[in-house]
Amino acid sequence: MRLLIIADTHLPRRARDLPAQVWREVDDADVVVHAGDWVDLATLEALRARSARLIGVYGNNDGPELRAELPEVATAELDGLRLAVIHETGAAKGREQRCARDFPDTDVLVFGHSHIPWDSVTGTGLRLLNPGSPTDRRRQPYCTYLTARVDGGELTDVVLHRLPPRQV
């Protein structure tokens, strides 16, 4: 099972649309995961229409329309892998401990908010992933997103993709 993991798209404020490279990944993915801050309902509708399966949550910049459509926390089982998605996890300091405490029955937690890519594993084995943002790099050198595979309940082939400058 192929995953595309994105967050913090902030459309149309940070870009007019998702980069073409990201749309190609949407077309190839079995599951698209979006960790919030969509900003506009049109992006949700476009991803729903084009994704084989979409798992998403709302973020702090998402208004009432998006909050009516999306949960604050989403959970799913993907081929035996227990996935959770949330927008914010708080400060980087202490993140692993907080998330391990708050998501004890989860194998992988996807989050956004910071626009900073993150990939770590807690002492309990919980994997934390933040894909950065495909449209707003903030203080990062590149806009980014993640792809991964799920095989027999295991997350494999996690790759952070850097988007070329000005593609967004």
Q: What is the CATH number of the domain that holds 44?
A: 3.60.21.10
Residue 167 has pLDDT above 50, yes or no: no
Residue 129: both structure tokens together: 């992933």
Residue 168 lies in a domain: no
Residue 110 lies in a domain: yes
Residue 93 lies in a domain: yes
Residue 58 lies in a domain: yes
* β-bridge pairing 144-151 and 127-130: unpaired
pLDDT in tens, 66-89: 999 999 999 999 999 999 999 999
Residue 167 lies in a domain: no
What integer best gives the mean pLDDT of the chain? 95
Contact 69/42 with Cβ under 8 angstroms? no
Instruction: Give 34's pLDDT tier (boundaries 50, 70, 90).
Output: very high
Cα separation, 83 vs 54, whole angstroms: 13
Q: How many domains does the chain have?
A: 1
Residue 17 lies in a domain: yes
Single pTM value for the model:
0.96
Residue 90 lies in a domain: yes
Domain that holds residue 96: 2-162
Better-predicted residue by pLDDT, 115 or 167: 115
Residue 7 lies in a domain: yes
Which of 14-18, 60-64, 92-96, 100-104 is predicted least confidently? 14-18
Contact 44/66 with Cβ under 8 angstroms? yes
Distances (CA, A) of 57 to 24, 54, 94, 122, 139: 22, 10, 23, 23, 24
